[in-house]
Structure 1
Amino acid sequence: MSITIPPAGEYAIDTDRSAVTFTTRHVFGLGGVRGSFAIASGRLTVAEPVEESTVAAAIDAGSFRTGSNARDGVVRSKRYLETEKFPEIRFASTGLGEQDGEWVLDGTLTVKDSTQPVRLTVDEVAAEAGVITAGAHVRIDRYAFGVTAQKGMTGRHLDLALEITATPA
């Protein structure tokens, strides 16, 4: 883990160079599923002190991809994400700090019409030539967001990895 505190300022997430990937299980935990979401927009404010920094991002719910068109269509449907009614998954930070030797980013995640607290573990942050790159991970319980279709057949938890690139806004 390498954390470099970036210079204070406003940064926009570069949606072409940023992504959310995930792994989960299906068929009663026997099969693995990998996939991704695209980040639609986002902003980082690096403050002094750094603990007062903020992050806000919108994920394009309709960008859900696993490589199976049939599965992807079902997950985007009313049974799971209802992407026509809820086109974005939103994250807003509520705090940043060190805990037990790791940097954590607390915030809220809104999926459909449910907002729940989440804690991301920051894996890396680098700043070079005005560009910030960062990585973080978090485990999400889809049941907490009311996404409960096909219990057992579809994994309850998603392990998310975020790779973010941001440039001065």
Structure 2
Amino acid sequence: MAASNWVLDKSHSGINFSVRHMMITNVRGSFNEFDAVVLADSDNLSALEASLSINVDSINTKDDGRDGHLKSPDFFNVEQFPQIVFKKTSLEAKGGEDYKLTGDITIAGVTKSITLNTEIAGPAKDPWGNSKFGVVADGIINRSDFGLTYNAALETGGILIGDAIKIHIELEFAQG
């Protein structure tokens, strides 16, 4: 079968993250606006071509003040760098639905390679006969690798914001 376009089903997709706060708990957040472009053969999803773009201005940590700070030059600098972009460079089958997804991610103008533990399920037909597949990807990036180094020392020792950002992505696609 020839490769075809797959369209992101945004109502069944999400991009979430968490970061250590004050060395005692995690702050969780999400990006509400994103899009993905996928070209794949439904018989060979491991050969898919994929990219993901995230509107940084759509960050949501359930705290308007924190979200505003994250959009500022202290962190993402949304005015200068409005998008986070990920482009797949390789996808290694690990058996069953498990893969290692590697790609280049650009955050705040800095591009680095990252590898995400990934599950690809499907394709499967929905009740209306549409072919769909799902992707779940998890990984950790260090924000300092992308120049996001703002922090504050705590009176009791340690730092306000951890460097490791845990990423959790769930995407569903329909054959276009």
The residue aligned with 1:26 is: 21
The residue aligned with 1:103 is: 99
Count of residues in correspondence between the two structures: 162
Greater Rg by CA: 2
Amino acid at match of 2:105: L
The answer to whether 1:80 aligns with 2:87 is no
**Structure 2: 5+ residue stretches without partners:** 126-130, 153-158
Amino acid at match of 2:101: L
After TM superposition, the structure 1 stretch with the greater mean CA deviation from structure 2, 76-85 or 30-39, is 30-39
Identify the match of residue 40 of structure 2 among 40, 46, 50. 46
Query: What is the RMSD of the two structures over their aligned residues, measured on CA atoms?
Result: 2.0
Contact 2:120 2:133 in 1 (8 A): no
- Distance in 2 (alpha carbons) for counterparts of 1:136 and 1:37: 15
Contact 1:10 1:46 in 2 (8 A): yes
Normalising by structure 2, we get a TM-score of 0.83
Identify the match of residue 163 of structure 1 among 148, 155, 170. 170
- Distance in 2 (alpha carbons) for counterparts of 1:98 and 1:134: 13
Offset at residue 37 of structure 1 (A): 1.0
The residue aligned with 1:4 is: none
* Per-residue deviation, residues 120-142 of structure 1 (Å, max 9, x unmatched): 11134232221222211011110
Identify the match of residue 58 of structure 1 among 43, 53, 62. 53
* Distance change (3 Å), C-alpha of 1:15 and 1:100: closer
* Distance change (3 Å), C-alpha of 1:39 and 1:45: farther
* Per-residue deviation, residues 17-75 of structure 1 (Å, max 9, x unmatched): 32111111111x11211111134221112246544321101011111111111111101
- Distance in 2 (alpha carbons) for counterparts of 1:166 and 1:51: 15
Offset at residue 78 of structure 1 (A): 0.9
Amino acid at match of 1:108: D
Amino acid at match of 2:104: T
**Structure 1: 5+ residue stretches without partners:** 1-6
